[in-house]
Structure 1
Amino acid sequence: MFRALFDTLFRRTPTEEGFARTFIKAARASGYAEPLDYLADEFRLRYGDSGYFNLHNAYRDYLNADKSRKADVLASYLRALIDTRNSTAPQPLEQVRPLLRPVIRNLAMLEEIRLHHVRSEGWDSPCPLAWQPFSEDCVTLLAVDYPDTTSTQTMGPQQDWGITLEQALAIALDNLRDASPDAFEQILPGLYQGAWQDGYDTSRVLLPDVLQRVPVLGQPVFMMPSRDVLMVTGDKDAEGLRQMVELCFHALENGRAQSSRIYTYQDRRIVPFQVQDGHLQARLGDLQRLLHHGLYSTQKEFLDKIHEAHPEDIFVATHRLYSDADNPGSSFSIAAWTEGVFTSLPKTDRVILVQPQADGSAQTRMVAWHEVESLLGELLSKDGELYPPRFRTLGFPSAEQLSQLTPMD
């Protein structure tokens, strides 16, 4: 039923508003009778008294999907809406205990939840979130594994369960171990990909013994560029490492971004893998820029809406990504710092310093971020606890300070 319905509804590329309208129509056609209100400026649906269903991922995944898969993508999100609505009712621990799973997510997921809260409640209103640290860019969260969707418990275990987040994650990890037969497939010589396809492939990095059984050259090292892609190779396999990094670009552009880092195990603990090869380090830098570009773009949208709801005279600078003509295949990021404009700067490779002139023109110079930090650090302050990080400008460099900077082409 879903496929025929969506094939009819989505013959053209929809706008955000059109997508939301059609999504609601599809929900009604499937029997969802409860109120659904579209919040256009937040691009999400409100159901019940305080339930929200974000449309950002559904819209992006639909646009990115091949024509043959678009109906399946929409059907999966519609089932997720129904399951999410059903899962809001309190459930006893005995009922959900076998369904608990750990999930790994980029910090930006929690940041989006927090910024949604800030927009409606203000910066000073507490937004309780429950997670365990995984790495500099990821966290481990508790989830409930329903038949058609994963319900992430961003606030941790229900209070009436009577257990802590640590205890709940221990149960979740045991459940995941029981559901983890060996399921890696070799996609290139020495390079393997998780093939469980149950929504928890990347979660299995929390089970070191599972990855230790993969027949790689040396110790296993892994990447999880998107939520559904886990790749493993050996630390002694130079070609496997190179291929793994290159494939991550495709995975990152076609999935929900998770991490641009390479990890390994040390005494069963997950730690960053130290890359020695200069070319591989450069490619990892390009991968991180690509990931951050998407995160900064979404973050700017949220911050602009927050500043509309809670007026503040600050310009949220855009994170721009460019190809490096001198190094084919590589990239660099840029943001603009304009004299007289109070600005929230993303952390970029380069900064354009802009001085508007009386005749409407502007004098500009581009400098490296490391010089901005070392020579102009007194003019920057960290912009709260934002992720990815931003820095607020406190004035503009003096003529003397400008003369100390090294202009870039």
Structure 2
Amino acid sequence: MSRNTQWKVAGFGVSALVLVAALVLANGMPEVHEALSPEASDRDAFAQQALEALRATDPTGELTYDPEQFLIQRFAPDGGLGMSLFLTNFYREYQDTRPERRGEVLARLGRAGVLPEAPASYAQARPLLMLVVRARDTFEAFSQQAGESAPVSWRPVGEVLAEALVQDTPDAMRYVPTEELARWGISYEQARADAVTNLRRLEAAPLRHLTLGVCAIFTNDSYGASRLLLDDVVRGCEVKGDPVVVVPNRDTVLITGADDATGLLTLAEAALEGVQAPRPVDGHALRLTADGWKPFLPGPKSPSRSILENLAFASRVRGYKEQTERLRKEQEHSEVFVASLVPAKDARGRFFGQAVWSNEGESLLPRADVIVFMDAALGPDAPPAATVRWDLVVRDAGTLLMPELGVYPERYRVTGFPSKEQLQRWKADPTAMDVP
């Protein structure tokens, strides 16, 4: 039986269940909006306009369009890869812009496709250095593909976000490669300190009070999210308890306090709106602790809990979706199957993630909430052999389920299948399907 079998899970085919969950999540949570992306022809038509804009700005080198990843790659005249330009954010901005002004978006895209030259020395680079904040999986993908010669110098922030060094110009940002820092003889920490100094020199972004105890930073310079890295700016908002933030898009930081139930609800509602803006970043809420930023959710009875939980889940779905596509492409000549994180919804209306573990061979599973065990011999329409919550499986599976090192979002390699006796023990456990 093919490893591409579409298993039936809880009455839905896997692909259908992804679509059902995406339809619900997309109602105010566009982290999974790409699952409902416009027809390929619309995206391809935009890509052709983008190619024309790039050629008009810089006719040198070869341009190729990858419709699967929705990106354009520019190759240097010598055949080397000059840059990769992802089109999703430009496309969203284009769609959200009035028709008479869409030419401005294409013109900006064309300028962004001209990669700034690398400074010859650190003295030339220093005044151009800045820090951007993005979703962590963006840079993990770069690092996993490139290894030691990663094209981005970056560090994790709050587990789910990341900061990265860029060379800033009026028309484009250029990520600073790790090898460039090495050539200059400069550590990441030194370059970061200079980038923070430059960030502070930007035009001040005043804290706007959305309500008592809730502040927002709104900019139009793609460095709004970077203000998260300025501790004194974040603490400039008077809040109840530890500061809690969400950075829904590149130009927005939302701030309130961990002990302010009303403030958290205001923040959550603002985040729902913020992730719908162009250039989204992430939907997780982060709390500032003694050990730095950490993912945060309020207590189960908090009125903001369900919104913040769903925002975080939607970001998790998006991250795994992009990772799954990339890993499947890398593993296309391998027998290893890369499993998806499948969204589902429980009786209380909460979303959770499932992963399918079959006995067909070796797999890479996402970190799910529930594992659905499928027996390939029974066919794709057969009910699961067992459905068990993740922590119960981890407790008992031993070496059958092992972490895959160096992969983010986290993955687990399975090389066998639990015995019938083990599956029966799990099925007999009254808590087997209790989602945390």
Do Structure 1 and Structure 2 share a fold, with TM-score over 0.5? yes
Please name the residue that 1:53 is paired with: 84
Which of 121, 130, 136 is residue 92 of structure 1 equivalent to?
121
Please name the residue that 1:20 is paired with: 47
Greater alpha carbon shift after TM alignment, 237-246 vs 56-65: 56-65
Please name the residue that 2:245 is paired with: 222
Q: Give the conservation status (yes or no) of the 8 Å contact 1:131–1:154.
A: no
- Distance (Å, rounded) in 2 between the aligned partners of 1:359 and 1:93: 61
Which of 274, 297, 300 is residue 321 of structure 2 equivalent to?
297
Paired amino acid for 1:307: Q
1:346 aligns with 2:346: no
- Distance (Å, rounded) in 1 between the aligned partners of 2:201 and 2:179: 22
Please name the residue that 2:390 is paired with: 369
- Distance (Å, rounded) in 2 between the aligned partners of 1:26 and 1:375: 56
Which of 369, 375, 386 is residue 407 of structure 2 equivalent to?
386
- Distance (Å, rounded) in 2 between the aligned partners of 1:335 and 1:341: 15
1:80 aligns with 2:112: yes
Measure how far apart 1:257 and its partner are.
2.8
Per-residue Cα deviation, 1:321-362 (whole angstroms, up to 9, x for no partner): 1343x224x311112111223221111111211113457742
Indicate the RMSD between aligned Cα atoms, in angstroms.
2.9
Which of 277, 280, 283 is residue 299 of structure 2 equivalent to?
277
Per-residue Cα deviation, 1:106-160 (whole angstroms, up to 9, x for no partner): 221112223544xxxxxxx644453334222223221122112322224265445
- Distance (Å, rounded) in 1 between the aligned partners of 2:197 and 2:153: 20
- Distance (Å, rounded) in 1 between the aligned partners of 2:369 and 2:267: 25
Per-residue Cα deviation, 1:233-262 (whole angstroms, up to 9, x for no partner): 234422111221233234335443335132
Which of 356, 379, 382 is residue 376 of structure 2 equivalent to?
356
Q: Give the conservation status (yes or no) of the 8 Å contact 1:61–1:73.
A: no
Q: 3-state SS of the aligned residue for 1:405?
A: helix
Paired amino acid for 1:111: E
Over 3 Å counting, the alpha-carbon distance change for 1:65 and 1:366 in structure 2 is farther
Q: Give the conservation status (yes or no) of the 8 Å contact 1:58–1:77.
A: no
Per-residue Cα deviation, 1:32-84 (whole angstroms, up to 9, x for no partner): 211232153654313202212232434653476355575444333322112x2
Measure how far apart 1:275 and its partner are.
5.0
Which of 321, 343, 349 is residue 343 of structure 2 equivalent to?
321
Which of 191, 209, 219 is residue 168 of structure 1 equivalent to?
191
Per-residue Cα deviation, 1:358-387 (whole angstroms, up to 9, x for no partner): 577424132211222112243112233211
- Distance (Å, rounded) in 2 between the aligned partners of 1:98 and 1:393: 49
Q: 3-state SS of the aligned residue for 2:375?
A: strand
Q: Which consecutive aligned stretches of 4+ in structure 1 deviate over 6 angstroms post-superposition?
A: none
Which of 62, 67, 70 is residue 36 of structure 1 equivalent to?
62
- Distance (Å, rounded) in 1 between the aligned partners of 2:65 and 2:142: 15
Please name the residue that 1:7 is paired with: none
Over 3 Å counting, the alpha-carbon distance change for 1:181 and 1:257 in structure 2 is closer
Gaps of 5+ in 2: 1-38
- Distance (Å, rounded) in 1 between the aligned partners of 2:209 and 2:143: 39
Q: Give the conservation status (yes or no) of the 8 Å contact 1:221–1:233.
A: yes
Greater alpha carbon shift after TM alignment, 294-303 vs 90-99: 90-99
Paired amino acid for 1:140: E
Please name the residue that 1:232 is paired with: 255
Which of 296, 310, 319 is residue 286 of structure 1 equivalent to?
310
Paired amino acid for 1:386: V
Which of 137, 160, 168 is residue 108 of structure 1 equivalent to?
137
Over 3 Å counting, the alpha-carbon distance change for 1:293 and 1:368 in structure 2 is same
Please name the residue that 1:258 is paired with: 282
Greater relative CO, 1 or 2 (CA 8 Å, sep 6+): 2
- Distance (Å, rounded) in 1 between the aligned partners of 2:183 and 2:406: 31
Paired amino acid for 1:362: A
Q: Give the conservation status (yes or no) of the 8 Å contact 2:344–2:352.
A: yes
Over 3 Å counting, the alpha-carbon distance change for 1:60 and 1:397 in structure 2 is farther
- Distance (Å, rounded) in 1 between the aligned partners of 2:168 and 2:379: 62
Q: 3-state SS of the aligned residue for 2:394?
A: helix
Greater alpha carbon shift after TM alignment, 392-401 vs 100-109: 100-109
Percent identity over paired residues: 27
Q: Give the conservation status (yes or no) of the 8 Å contact 2:284–2:295.
A: no
Paired amino acid for 1:344: L
Q: Give the conservation status (yes or no) of the 8 Å contact 2:357–2:365.
A: yes
Q: Give the conservation status (yes or no) of the 8 Å contact 2:285–2:297.
A: no
- Distance (Å, rounded) in 2 between the aligned partners of 1:36 and 1:170: 37
Please name the residue that 2:165 is paired with: 142
- Distance (Å, rounded) in 2 between the aligned partners of 1:177 and 1:348: 40
Q: Give the conservation status (yes or no) of the 8 Å contact 1:218–1:235.
A: yes
Please name the residue that 2:418 is paired with: 397
